[in-house]
């Protein structure tokens, strides 16, 4: 974080400053800011956030032992450290992020990109960060830091020398992206897609679209909206951009896209396409598996282009990315038994894309095996969407379908109903049972996809299989 005095921070947070014995209001702090006492280091600021399971105020002492010099708290704690008492620690975190980013922006050349979408946010964020890091100091979220806590924590990592901030915005409901993006007003607003991920919590896909459009509405005046025009709901956000006076750049396979891909090809070694931009036809060879990642790459190329990075340079940097993120189409195992661990998240769109990728990368004499868990947060659409994925797996001729957990049983029944009989589809009650089964079932030449929502935890089963066949 940038250097601020204790008095300045207290003023920003409208909080009560309680000084430790050796501090004054003019004491300067510039350390990392976090809600996790385990990642504190000398000079850090600890935000004591109440939680559903435990309360951060219990860990102020641990944070101080690890080096924290300031605690932001909702009530004073009996620990010798300067404290700023606020009404709401999470709101204070957002207020501090807004102030820090505004100061850096006013004093330097900071450019901000915001990314949202039902799928692909983290991969696109990683792609764009890889492109921009060769241009200047770039701050981007760790993992999927995209909520009311993670997004401000990322923002607070900017310093006076930061040139680019890439923010990823998830949505807990209508209004949440507006609150988060409103903290920084991005120069570039990237919307990837509107899908059924979390639709149950939004009340339907149209409400999901409304939530994603908040990023365009929150962009800085004179900024640019980068929109996936292959998705009609995202393409329709051009009208929002026009009303805001924003420039627009479209990406996708649609001929009208300013950054367009053609000739997509997926193999076990990666994904390729031709990128058409500014009159040039540029080959792209990603090491990352999956045709759906071409769209994420196009979004990153388009956003980087708005920031002045040549498409040829962007492509060269993207081609060095080996894994989009842990547990996202992550290759594991060995050449005999290849495991693709893609179980960090799952929606109907990403599940379908992963199954198609599995079918595409499996050659003659090899066998497709899909280990599938439930898709969460689909609301009333859950049953129908699990049915649809079961049907798709059979129609793609996935040769072994291993369904894990009671929440995914309907997917198994759908596969059976479509004709996946005689052991081609099996249902396992839990991960341990699935692991025992797969130890004896998997054989040389198998290509294995592990896919589920994060809450189901099949990523850990994927890790176990990857280690077994390493």
Is 123 annotated to bind ligand?
Answer: yes
Instruction: Give the span between the Cα atoms of 431 and 159, in whole angstroms.
Output: 44
Is 120 annotated to bind ligand?
Answer: yes
Q: At what angle do helices 121-132 and 292-306 cross, to 10 degrees?
A: 40
Which letter does DSSP use for residue 56 in this model? G
The first and second tokens of residue 123, run together, are 């991969």
Is 212 annotated to bind ligand?
Answer: no
Instruction: Give the span between the Cα atoms of 373 and 354, in whole angstroms.
Output: 13
CA angle 244, 247, 252 (to 5 degrees): 120
Residues in CB range of 10: below 8 A, 6 or more apart: 16, 17, 25, 84
DSSP 409-423: HHHHHHHHHHT-TTT
Residue 110 and residue 135 in contact, taking contact as beta carbons nearer than 8 Å: no
Which letter does DSSP use for residue 67 in this model? T
Reference 293, options 393, 193, 205; nearest CA is 193
The Cβ of residue 267 has, within 10 Å, a number of other Cβ atoms equal to: 11
Rg (CA), the chain: 24
Is 27 annotated to bind ligand?
Answer: no
Structure-derived torsion over alpha carbons of residues 155, 206, 194, 261, reported in degrees to the nearest 10? -130
Reference 372, options 415, 333, 332; nearest CA is 415
Residue 220 and residue 185 in contact, taking contact as beta carbons nearer than 8 Å: yes
Is 341 annotated to bind ligand?
Answer: no
Residue 251's H or E segment, with its range, is: strand 247-252
Cα 131 to Cα 137, 146, 231, 290: the distances in Å are 11, 20, 24, 20
User: Could you give phi then psi for residue 196, rounded to 5 degrees?
Assistant: -90, 0
Is 159 annotated to bind ligand?
Answer: no
Is 114 annotated to bind ligand?
Answer: no
Q: Please state the residue numbers annotated as binding site.
A: 117-123
Q: Please state the residue numbers annotated as binding site for ATP.
A: 117-123
């Amino acid at each position: 974080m940038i250097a601020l005095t204790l008095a300045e921070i207290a003023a920003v947070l409208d909080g009560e400053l309680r000084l430790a014995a050796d501090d004054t209001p003019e004491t300067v702090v510039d350390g990392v800011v976090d809600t996790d006492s385990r990642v504190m280091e000398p000079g850090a600021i600890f935000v004591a956030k109440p939680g559903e399971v435990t309360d951060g105020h219990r860990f102020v002492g641990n944070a101080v032992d690890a080096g924290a010099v300031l605690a932001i708290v909702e009530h004073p704690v009996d620990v010798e450290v300067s404290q700023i008492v606020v009404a709401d620690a999470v709101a204070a975190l957002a207020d501090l992020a807004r102030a820090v980013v505004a100061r850096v922006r006013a004093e330097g050349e900071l450019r901000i990109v915001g990314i949202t979408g039902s799928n692909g946010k983290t991969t696109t964020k990683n792609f764009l960060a890889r492109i921009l890091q060769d241009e200047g100091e770039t701050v981007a979220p760790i993992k999927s830091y995209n909520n009311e806590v993670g997004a401000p924590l990322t923002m607070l990592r900017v310093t006076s020398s930061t040139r680019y901030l890439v923010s990823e915005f998830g949505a807990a409901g209508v209004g949440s992206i507006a609150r988060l993006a409103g903290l920084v007003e991005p120069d570039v607003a990237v919307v990837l897609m509107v899908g059924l991920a979390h639709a149950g919590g939004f009340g339907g896909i149209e409400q999901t679209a409304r939530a994603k459009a908040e990023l365009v509405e929150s962009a800085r005046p004179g900024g640019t909206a980068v929109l996936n025009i292959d998705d009609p709901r995202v393409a329709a956000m051009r009208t929002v951009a026009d009303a805001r006076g924003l420039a627009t750049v479209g990406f996708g396979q649609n001929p009208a896209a300013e950054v367009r891909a053609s000739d997509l090809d997926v193999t076990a070694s990666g994904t390729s396409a031709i990128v058409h931009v500014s009159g040039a036809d540029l080959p792209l060879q990603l090491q990352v598996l999956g045709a759906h990642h071409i769209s994420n790459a196009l979004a990153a190329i388009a956003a980087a282009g708005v920031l002045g990075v040549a498409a040829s340079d962007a492509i060269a940097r993207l081609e060095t990315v080996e894994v989009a993120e842990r547990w996202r189409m992550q290759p594991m195992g060995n050449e005999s038994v290849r495991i693709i661990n893609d179980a960090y998240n799952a929606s109907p769109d990403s599940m379908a894309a992963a199954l198609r990728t599995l079918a595409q990368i499996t050659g003659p004499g090899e066998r497709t095996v899909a280990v599938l868990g439930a898709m969460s947060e689909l609301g009333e659409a859950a049953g129908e969407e699990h049915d649809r994925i079961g049907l798709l797996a059979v129609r793609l001729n996935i040769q072994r379908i291993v369904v894990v957990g009671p929440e995914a049983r309907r997917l198994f029944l759908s596969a059976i109903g479509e004709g996946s009989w005689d052991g081609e589809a099996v249902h396992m009650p839990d991960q341990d049972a699935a692991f025992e089964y797969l130890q004896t079932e998997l054989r040389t030449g198998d290509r294995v996809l592990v896919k589920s929502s994060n809450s189901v935890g099949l990523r850990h089963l994927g890790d176990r299989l990857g280690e077994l066949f390493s």
